[in-house]
Chains A and B, each alone.
Chain A
Amino acid sequence: DTAVSQTPKYLVTQMGNDKSIKCEQNLGHDTMYWYKQDSKKFLKIMFSYNNKELIINETVPNRFSPKSPDKAHLNLHINSLELGDSAVYFCASSQTLRVGETQYFGPGTRLLVL
């Protein structure tokens, strides 16, 4: 029973392409997040959504657009991919937006832009 799942696991694409990463959680949580882990393994918040509403947009280029069709799904669409977008993208979820709630992470999507 996968709690937070992401597809695809690996994504290799050319510069300038548009791609999407999907995330689903079956925990019944209200809040979902996207994090980026760069080559130095530094994990940094990108977005958070609560009940399909955008809460955090952490100065991410507007080529990145999250979409939440329902509270169990948070997808990430990236336009005009650049070399610097190569990273591992993690989706996470928490029961609520309350500070102190545990965030549970998915397995990650490894994006390589050539």
Chain B
Amino acid sequence: EDQVTQSPEALRLQEGESSSLNCSYTVSGLRGLFWYRQDPGKGPEFLFTLYSAGEEKEKERLKATLTKKESFLHITAPKPEDSATYLCAVQASVPPGSEKLVFGKGTKLTVNP
């Protein structure tokens, strides 16, 4: 069964203190790894898709990387507005039903001013 494990469960940073979030996955043929951001009381907001090991994507202070077993979301010089829960999800290559996203439990990030 496809599994996604995110660590840490919660992370507190000071503004400007860079860090990384981890997403480990076990999946039968990865077709896509997705990062979402979820603010309290809102739906997940799409950030990145990574398709193959070695791929990297960047957006403002966020950079996502992918290996064959895990993905990292690096946050450089975070600001308080980066505080949110970050969700990782995978899609497998075995049809049918492979279009479903299998989510991790998320990492709740708090950035203090």
- Residues of chain A at the chain B interface (Cβ within 8 Å): 4, 31, 33, 35, 40-45, 48, 55-56, 58, 90, 92, 94, 97-108
Q: By the criterion CB–CB under 8 Å, are B43 and A106 in contact? A: yes
8 further contact pairs, Cβ within 8 A, besides A43-B87, A97-B99, A103-B34: A35-B101, A43-B44, A48-B99, A55-B99, A94-B99, A99-B91, A105-B45, A107-B42
Min CB gap B24→A, angstroms? 16
Q: How far is the CA of A96 from the CA of B45 in the complex (A)?
A: 18
Q: By the criterion CB–CB under 8 Å, are B85 and A41 in contact? A: yes
Q: By the criterion CB–CB under 8 Å, are A108 and B91 in contact? A: no
Return the CB mask of B88-113 against A: 1 if under 8 Å, else 0: 01011101111111110110000000
- Residues of chain B at the chain A interface (Cβ within 8 Å): 31-32, 34, 36, 41-46, 49, 51, 85, 87, 89, 91-93, 95-103, 105-106
Residue of B nearest to A102 (CB): B46
Q: By the criterion CB–CB under 8 Å, are B99 and A101 in contact? A: yes
Q: By the criterion CB–CB under 8 Å, are A99 and B32 in contact? A: yes
Q: Known: A90-B43, A107-B42. Contact between A55 and B51, CB under 8 A?
A: no
Instruction: Report A-chain residues with C-beta under 8 Å of the C-beta of B49.
Output: 100, 102
Q: By the criterion CB–CB under 8 Å, are B99 and A31 in contact? A: yes
Instruction: Report A-chain residues with C-beta under 8 Å of the C-beta of B87.
Output: 43
Q: By the criterion CB–CB under 8 Å, are A100 and B51 in contact? A: yes
